[in-house]
A and B are shown apart, each in its own frame.
Chain A
């Protein structure tokens, strides 16, 4: 009916019919606008999530052969030494990333937010530039930077602390140095991104609040604790959450930095790298799905704990 109206309205411009067509297309429009996205989303977003739950109860050999095994994959995960190493490495990385990245980013944001600082845009660009490089190319770059003898990091450290860092200090070949190397590369990559968020948050704090605090006799430090920190708390919690979640999904950095492997003594094996190895190198998509779901639940749990501890839930009711 709509189509006929459409054709007719072109030939005989009856105002009534035109407005009828108008009403119909207005009513249909949202469905038409949403459906292309929705179809793709259901097919390649939502369905795979459900499918991976199903798949996690199978053992597969590539995408073709699948055998139902029930909860065996999850049982095996509990006693899988490699998986435990992956979880430990990922957790250690996430911990140090958050502990180092967030305070550094906050510090830089506070420095940059001083109203009299000149060249703010240039500083901001300098801090943010590494993020533009992207994790893959940061990994490629740091693979070279961490090389003994000619790598920049050893050159600089040897220049500053010759007794502690010989020129052939091994970052990526020595199991006990791999994690510091990963954390360092991660710090360089992400600190600017967090800083951008925190800087925007600091600048969005109501200026009147500072004046009110000043009237009450608060000094700069008191103003920071009483006005700035509460003002940026939602953003700080957001940055804390996203950086933790991101850290738990670590893959590109260690995979490329350690020449497409887990590194010496599996010191750079992460959960997602383990997922990749079991699913797409060994070919057990079922086990990989189980690893994926364990990761998802772990991340969810940690996020909830973080929200609880930071009091984000309470904040919503205030």
Chain B
């Protein structure tokens, strides 16, 4: 993993806690693990069998976990005639050198055509991208700024704020749905983007995540910047944020996934088709009418694609961010 630093900073100062957690310690430190140390010969055969068994179980689990996703891709790319005829991918027989082979049929765009004919999918996608990105930016800015303040400053009311946030963490968000709706209604924001965005603007989870990450930024770094005449906001922007980049990456993905998959609140607040996000819009297609299921699968496929791509880009940061709080207690 590349060291996330601004050019002015020595790499040593980056927040390495996350890096440490994700550097796959097991792969490199495998040789030192006790079960790898030489054993008596009698244990060798059993050991070998055990390893085979572990791989068999792992592969079985992987197949079970991936099968629905493979099926989803298959259903998405089949043409409308093949949808119900093939369990997975549609094939066609090919004769080559006297032998018959089954070859994959070319991808069909039937389902995508059906999808775009059935619902304004592009509009939903745009709404989702806009809402999710806005949520991430708002949450990232407010959470990291407040997390910085709670990590690196002593000020009056700090303990009270932390206590207040801890108290609300225990309460399920659904408790606030009714009064929030009333509030948004009073503000005249029902069925608007702001009405959708406002309740998710605050992320208590994000504050704790950033507070924890920024706590590990060395104080000397901040002092040095102050002596050089840096304002406090510049310290936040030019030192704290670049140094916490792994956490920023993790938070962005976690926050994006939360907004992307948000269902209950949009379902409550959005009434008109042109405001629908993907979860709400795609849900209008769900039903017993099986002739649309190809379109539905194409829509699902397109809907999960952005998250998968983002995850593959930010995988290491994501897993570190996810587990850092829990593992370190």
| Chain A residues with CB below 8 A from B257, complex form | 132, 134
Say whether A225 faces chain B, with CB atoms less than 8 Å apart.
Answer: no
Say whether B71 faces chain A, with CB atoms less than 8 Å apart.
Answer: yes
Q: With both chains docked as a complex, state the minimum distance between the C-beta of B136 and any C-beta of chain A, in angstroms.
A: 15
Contact stretch, chosen from B104-112, B181-189, B241-249: B181-189
Say whether A137 faces chain B, with CB atoms less than 8 Å apart.
Answer: yes
Query: Which residue on chain A has the smallest CB distance to residue B231?
Result: A25
A33 and B145 form a contact (CB under 8 A):
yes
Given known pairs A37-B143, A200-B21, the reply for A123 and B58 (CB within 8 Å) is yes
Most chain B C-beta atoms within 10 Å of own C-beta, residue among A140, A213, A286: A140
B171 and A33 form a contact (CB under 8 A):
no
Query: Which residue on chain A has the smallest CB distance to residue B29?
Result: A207
In the complex the two chains form, what is the Cα distance from A135 to B300 in whole Å?
12
In the complex the two chains form, what is the Cα distance from A44 to B201 in whole Å?
9
B33 and A276 form a contact (CB under 8 A):
no
A120 and B24 form a contact (CB under 8 A):
yes
Contact flags A24-39 to B (C-beta < 8 A → 1, else 0): 0110011101101110
Q: With both chains docked as a complex, state the minimum distance between the C-beta of A47 and any C-beta of chain B, in angstroms.
A: 8
- Identify which of A51, A140, A149, A272 contacts B174 (C-beta below 8 A): A272
A115 and B29 form a contact (CB under 8 A):
yes
Contact flags B10-41 to A (C-beta < 8 A → 1, else 0): 00000000000100111101111111110000
* A contact residues, range: 35 or more
A188 and B300 form a contact (CB under 8 A):
no
A129 and B168 form a contact (CB under 8 A):
no
A136 and B182 form a contact (CB under 8 A):
no
In the complex the two chains form, what is the Cα distance from A201 to B26 in whole Å?
12
| Chain A residues with CB below 8 A from B98, complex form | none
A121 and B24 form a contact (CB under 8 A):
yes
Contact flags B245-262 to A (C-beta < 8 A → 1, else 0): 000000000000100110
Contact stretch, chosen from A75-83, A95-103, A245-253: A245-253
B179 and A114 form a contact (CB under 8 A):
no
Q: With both chains docked as a complex, state the minimum distance between the C-beta of B116 and any C-beta of chain A, in angstroms.
A: 17
Given known pairs A201-B327, A260-B283, the reply for A132 and B311 (CB within 8 Å) is yes
Q: With both chains docked as a complex, state the minimum distance between the C-beta of A150 and any C-beta of chain B, in angstroms.
A: 5
| Chain A residues with CB below 8 A from B164, complex form | 41, 46
Contact flags B264-303 to A (C-beta < 8 A → 1, else 0): 1001100000000001001100111010010011011001
| Chain B residues with CB below 8 A from A44, complex form | 180, 183, 198-199, 201-202
In the complex the two chains form, what is the Cα distance from A35 to B21 in whole Å?
32
In the complex the two chains form, what is the Cα distance from A239 to B323 in whole Å?
11
Given known pairs A123-B58, A136-B263, A285-B182, the reply for A45 and B204 (CB within 8 Å) is yes
A288 and B304 form a contact (CB under 8 A):
no
Say whether A141 faces chain B, with CB atoms less than 8 Å apart.
Answer: yes
- Identify which of A111, A135, A155 contacts B87 (C-beta below 8 A): A155
| Chain B residues with CB below 8 A from A46, complex form | 164, 168
A37 and B177 form a contact (CB under 8 A):
no
Chain A residues numbered 276-312 whose CB sits less than 8 Å from any CB in chain B: 276, 279-280, 285-286, 288-289, 292-293, 295-296, 299-300, 303
Say whether B9 faces chain A, with CB atoms less than 8 Å apart.
Answer: no
In the complex the two chains form, what is the Cα distance from A299 to B168 in whole Å?
13
Given known pairs A40-B201, A117-B58, A132-B304, the reply for A288 and B178 (CB within 8 Å) is yes
In the complex the two chains form, what is the Cα distance from A155 to B261 in whole Å?
29
In the complex the two chains form, what is the Cα distance from A223 to B204 in whole Å?
38
A140 and B263 form a contact (CB under 8 A):
no
B300 and A137 form a contact (CB under 8 A):
yes
Say whether B84 faces chain A, with CB atoms less than 8 Å apart.
Answer: yes
Q: With both chains docked as a complex, state the minimum distance between the C-beta of A269 and any C-beta of chain B, in angstroms.
A: 15
A275 and B174 form a contact (CB under 8 A):
yes
| Chain A residues with CB below 8 A from B96, complex form | none
- Identify which of B155, B185, B300, B308 contacts A31 (C-beta below 8 A): B155
Q: Could you name 5 residue pairs across A and B whose Cβ atoms are closer than 8 Å? A: A52-B178, A126-B61, A127-B65, A223-B34, A296-B171
Closest 5 CB pairs of A and B: A29-B232, A134-B261, A30-B153, A51-B179, A48-B176
A: residues with CB less than 8 A from B are: 18, 22, 25-26, 29-31, 33-34, 36-38, 40-41, 44-49, 51-52, 55, 63, 108, 111-117, 120-121, 123, 125-127, 129-130, 132-137, 140-145, 147, 149-150, 152, 155-156, 188, 191-193, 196-197, 200-201, 203-204, 207, 210-211, 213-214, 220, 223, 234-235, 238-239, 245, 248-249, 251-252, 255-256, 259-260, 272, 275-276, 279-280, 285-286, 288-289, 292-293, 295-296, 299-300, 303
* 19 new A-B contacts at CB < 8 Å, known A34-B155, A147-B293, A249-B174: A25-B232, A30-B153, A40-B142, A41-B165, A45-B176, A115-B29, A127-B65, A130-B68, A132-B257, A142-B68, A143-B286, A144-B75, A150-B84, A188-B68, A207-B29, A252-B264, A256-B283, A259-B288, A285-B178
B: residues with CB less than 8 A from A are: 21, 24-27, 29-37, 51, 54-55, 57-58, 61-62, 65-69, 71-72, 75, 83-84, 87, 142-143, 145-146, 148-150, 153, 155, 158, 161, 164-165, 168, 170-183, 185-186, 198-199, 201-202, 204, 207, 226, 229, 231-233, 236, 257, 260-261, 263-264, 267-268, 279, 282-283, 286-288, 290, 293, 296-297, 299-300, 303-304, 307-308, 311, 315, 319, 322-323, 326-327, 329
